[in-house]
Homo-oligomer: A and B are copies of this chain.
Amino acid sequence: MKINNADRAQILTEALPYIQKYKDKIIVIKYGGNAMINEELKNAVMGDIVLLSLIGIKVVLVHGGGPEITDMLKRVGKESRFENGLRVTDAETAEIVQMVLAGKINKSLVNLIESRGGKAVGLSGADGKLIVASKLDEKLGFVGEIEEINVEPINVLLNNGYIPVVSTVGCDMDNNVYNINADTVAAYIAAELGAESLVSMTDIAGLLRDKDDPSTLIPVVTVSETPQLVRDGIISGGMIPKIECCTEAVRRGVKKAFIIDGRVPHSILIETLTDEGIGTMFVPGATTLLEN
């Protein structure tokens, strides 16, 4: 389709109320997993983030790792052992996780943002004691749970015009490194920052009543409805932690949390700057929208 410049101008104009709504607000974007693999998509996402930042929204990017961690572990000959579905993480594994996250993926994302004209600085859990953790379970080794979140370095960067890019690696004061669930970290950081919204970019279309039928997308869920959705099996498997972090963020004061499809080009702009809700939005309150 050929779009002329008059249409372009019209479209920019239609974004006006959305820009007004988010002006000077903080949006925490959780980005990771399969949504991160496709290079072209990744480039587009970074472009979207630069655009949001430029029009006055304070964007914080929280990223995870995924396949690149597995690749590197394989390359250095570390076999992964699992305990109740959780990867047992010895000190060496934790260190490799950190290297891949903070030393490769983080710097690459920072670089992509800079290449598109944005200003970014990467942070990891040790920086300014951003993410202080302790062992979740001795048997799992350095799988961490959050002890303390210090968002001061994020605020320093935001106030100086930088987009903070956060690797979700925990630290403690004995120089240990912890593998931590990125969704949980994003939820805690969003809450500590008093963010307007948390956007979790995944590789699914949102919360579906029938996971094989995209037309059954549930557009809005109140946090009080989620237990029933779990009991009904609509939220299940790998969705559980993602949705828990959305509801956790909302419970801790974030106004809205979204699960959107990172595979859709510019899905974050569509969600933020148009009237089209894509994916599922989690909001506070008890209104049982589900019953309708």
Contacts and interface: CB of A to CB of B under 8 A. Distances in A.
Interface string A8-29: 1111111111011001000000
Interface stretch (A118-126, A198-206, A283-291): A118-126
Nearest to A14: B8
Q: Identify whether the interface residues of A are mostly helix, strand, loop, or mixed.
A: helix
Given A51-B19, A99-B99, A12 B114 contact: no
Interface in A259-290: 264-267, 269-270, 273-274, 276, 278
A16 B10 CA distance: 16
Most buried by B among A6, A174, A270: A6
A112 interface: yes
Interface in A80-117: 95, 98-104, 106-108, 110-112, 114-117
A217 B126 CA distance: 40
A162 interface: yes
Interface stretch (A138-146, A152-160, A238-246): A152-160
Interface residues of A, number: 79
A10 B117 contact: no
Contact of A95 (B6, B47, B104, B126): B104
B19 A55 contact: yes
B51 A12 contact: yes
Contacts of A104: 95, 98-99, 103
Contact of A16 (B14, B51, B99, B267): B51
A265 B6 CA distance: 7
A3 B13 contact: no
B111 A20 contact: no
A128 B117 contact: no
Contacts of A7: 1, 3, 11
A292 interface: no
Contacts of A160: 156
Given A5-B278, A19-B51, A99-B104, 12 more contacts: A3-B3, A6-B266, A8-B274, A9-B48, A13-B44, A16-B50, A23-B54, A102-B106, A102-B107, A107-B127, A111-B171, A114-B126
26 contacts: A6-B264, A6-B270, A8-B15, A8-B270, A8-B273, A8-B274, A10-B266, A11-B11, A12-B15, A12-B266, A12-B273, A13-B266, A13-B269, A15-B51, A54-B56, A55-B55, A55-B56, A75-B77, A76-B76, A98-B104, A101-B103, A107-B169, A108-B126, A114-B173, A120-B127, A121-B123
